[in-house]
Amino acid sequence: MEHMTYHQANRERYLDGFKAFLRIPSISTSPAHAGDVRRAAEFVAQDLAASGMEHVGLIEQAGRHPLVYADWLGAAGKPTLLLYGHYDVQPPEPLEEWLSPPFEPEVRNENIYARGACDDKGQTYILLKALEGLLRTTTRLPVNVRVLMEGEEEVGGEHIGQFVARHPERLAADAALICDTEMFAPGLPTICTGLRGIVYGELLVTGARTDLHSGVYGGAAPNPIQAIAEILASLKDRDGRIRIAGFYDRVRPPTPEERAAWARLPFDEAEFLEKEVGASCLVGPAEVPVLERLWAQPTLEVHGVRGGFTGEGAKTVIPAKALAKLSMRLVADQDPVEATTQLQAAIARVSPKGVKAEFQPIHSAAPSMMDPANRFVKAAAEALTSVFGRETVYIRSGGSIPIAGLFQKHLGIPSVLMGFGLPDDNLHAPNEKFHLPNFFNGIIVVNRYLELLG
């Protein structure tokens, strides 16, 4: 247990290092911050090298943010674990809503506030410090470890996907550990066993050749925004069920055990509505429990409509074209390619006359499911329970972590999703925070997890 003593003795230094990591404005979507993104990659690489990891290096992506790779493969006969995190962050805007500057980390009430505090620098740094504690105290790790960190997670992660597909041999492992999710409730150790997939794309509808005056042509000319409205209204019923032929055919319902476990979670629908959503009521089929709607049911969502006039005041235009941003969230065992084809066929079927409507996908990710009986999952639950002192719960997430599906597809390995964020950590929003007890406990959990696997 000398590494536990080491972790304890280094708490202040860990916090200082974490703050230094947070001070780097590694905003991956901003060309102006490309240098900062690289600094963050170098920060991660230097930390791994200082701890004693081997083969540390940046994997350059032509013109894009690098991957950070490291490994330690000296545990002969032991399994190999692939650790994933990302060192890039979302833009901090709107700046005026931050109580402290987004890149000047500040501790208030056991929370550290900064962009990336939770997503994902805090959780990435947990991995780094767990490795440091083990390597500095015993000069070895209990299992073989590969580390792969990316700097483009917040902009789609396209290049890591290409790397994983092209170089599976460089990432050979038995399982992956992804620290980029959250605990279901404060103090409640949580493993995520399912992620929704996604197909995100654009529905382009064209009508007249040019924008037309609604006085002169209104009543005879097709209106692409009206067409989008009719298409969207046709594709869902009033309870939110999706009316796309074959769409639900592959949807795997949760097992009775899973449903029972979700029903036992500390979830209060009224509180969820009031505190998190803040609308007059929730939507979706009443007979499906809310968590099941979020985790085990697919969605079709419109994110925006572009076209026509949206400035102040009035302009009586019938736009020549309009574009809607749509996504489908998919659940096991739906397939993104099949779902895209189904959506395209449904759009063709319901498009009103006078317009041409086409859906083009921009990106997609398969849904993923982890078996709670898998030994890597069970060890993670044991490590979590031993540190937090409560039974680990299994949840799913309605979001998508494409890398989990890519590890499954190209490396043939499951991903353990062990998260230390909290539901109110303000990911992607002003005043993002990370709960410091979770930060320190997370380091102990990952350390113990590696020991249990070894």
User: Restricting to residues 131-160, which ones interact with a second copy according to CB under 8 A?
Assistant: 156
Site string for a second copy, 310-339 (x = CB under 8 A): x--xxxxxxx---xxx-x-x----------
Q: Could you say which of 198, 383, 411, 422 contacts a second copy (CB under 8 A)?
A: 198
Task: Specify the residue, 76 or 286, whose C-beta has the smaller distance to a second copy.
Answer: 286
106-108: strand order across its sheet:
106-108, 111-113, 433-435
Residue 428 in contact with a second copy, rule: CB under 8 A: yes
# chain residues binding a second copy, by CB under 8 A = 82
Q: Could you say which of 116, 189, 222, 367 contacts a second copy (CB under 8 A)?
A: 222
Q: Are 305 and 228 in contact (CB under 8 A)?
A: yes
The gap between the terminal CA atoms of the chain, to the nearest Å, is 15
- Closest approach, Cβ 184 to a second copy, in A, equals 12
Residue 115 in contact with a second copy, rule: CB under 8 A: no
**Residue 434 pairs with which residues in a beta bridge?**
112
Residue 11 in contact with a second copy, rule: CB under 8 A: no
Residue 196 in contact with a second copy, rule: CB under 8 A: yes
- Closest approach, Cβ 145 to a second copy, in A, equals 29
CA-wise closest residue to 359 among 231, 261, 272, 210: 231
Label the pairing between strands 212-213 and 190-195: unpaired
| Segment contacting a second copy by CB under 8 A, of 4-12, 48-56, 102-110, 204-212 | 204-212
- In order of 40, 244, 300, 336, 409, the CA distances from 363 in angstroms are 26, 20, 15, 10, 16
Task: Specify the residue, 22 or 318, whose C-beta has the smaller distance to a second copy.
Answer: 318
- Closest approach, Cβ 111 to a second copy, in A, equals 20
- Closest approach, Cβ 213 to a second copy, in A, equals 7
- Closest approach, Cβ 354 to a second copy, in A, equals 5
Q: Could you say which of 17, 354, 372, 454 contacts a second copy (CB under 8 A)?
A: 354
Task: Specify the residue, 208 or 265, whose C-beta has the smaller distance to a second copy.
Answer: 208
User: Restricting to residues 386-405, which ones interact with a second copy according to CB under 8 A?
Assistant: 397-400
| Amino acid at residue number 226 | Q
Task: Specify the residue, 49 or 350, whose C-beta has the smaller distance to a second copy.
Answer: 350
| Amino acid at residue number 10 | N
Residue 297 in contact with a second copy, rule: CB under 8 A: yes
120 cis-preceded (ω within 30 degrees of 0): yes
**Can you tell me which residue has the tokens 């994933």?**
84
Task: Specify the residue, 229 or 345, whose C-beta has the smaller distance to a second copy.
Answer: 229
> Residue 231, class by beta-carbon neighbours within 10 Å (0-12 exposed, 13-18 middle, 19+ buried)?
buried
Residue 265 in contact with a second copy, rule: CB under 8 A: no
| Segment contacting a second copy by CB under 8 A, of 60-68, 280-288, 406-414, 439-447 | 280-288
Residue 207 in contact with a second copy, rule: CB under 8 A: yes
Residue 419 in contact with a second copy, rule: CB under 8 A: no
| Segment contacting a second copy by CB under 8 A, of 30-38, 195-203, 374-382, 412-420 | 195-203
Task: Report the alpha-carbon distance of residue 137 to residue 328 in Å, rounded.
Answer: 48
94 cis-preceded (ω within 30 degrees of 0): yes
- Closest approach, Cβ 280 to a second copy, in A, equals 6
Tokens of 350: 């319901």
| Segment contacting a second copy by CB under 8 A, of 50-58, 233-241, 253-261, 370-378 | 233-241
Q: Could you say which of 63, 94, 219, 389 contacts a second copy (CB under 8 A)?
A: 219
Residue 19 in contact with a second copy, rule: CB under 8 A: no
Tokens of 43: 């920060």
Q: Could you say which of 20, 165, 216, 245 contacts a second copy (CB under 8 A)?
A: 216
Residue 355 in contact with a second copy, rule: CB under 8 A: yes
Task: Specify the residue, 50 or 216, whose C-beta has the smaller distance to a second copy.
Answer: 216
Q: Could you say which of 4, 49, 107, 221 contacts a second copy (CB under 8 A)?
A: 221
| Amino acid at residue number 390 | R
| Segment contacting a second copy by CB under 8 A, of 62-70, 80-88, 163-171, 305-313 | 305-313
DSSP output for 200-241: EEEEEEE-SSS-EEHHHHTTTS--HHHHHHHHHHHHB-TTS-
Residue 368 in contact with a second copy, rule: CB under 8 A: no
Instruction: Give the sign of the dihedral formed by CA 23, CA 27, CA 28, CA 34.
Output: negative
> What residues contact 291, with CB distance under 8 A and at least 6 apart?
262, 265, 267, 395
Q: Is 242 left (phi over 0), alpha (psi -120 to 50) or beta?
A: beta
- In order of 147, 157, 307, the CA distances from 173 in angstroms are 11, 20, 48
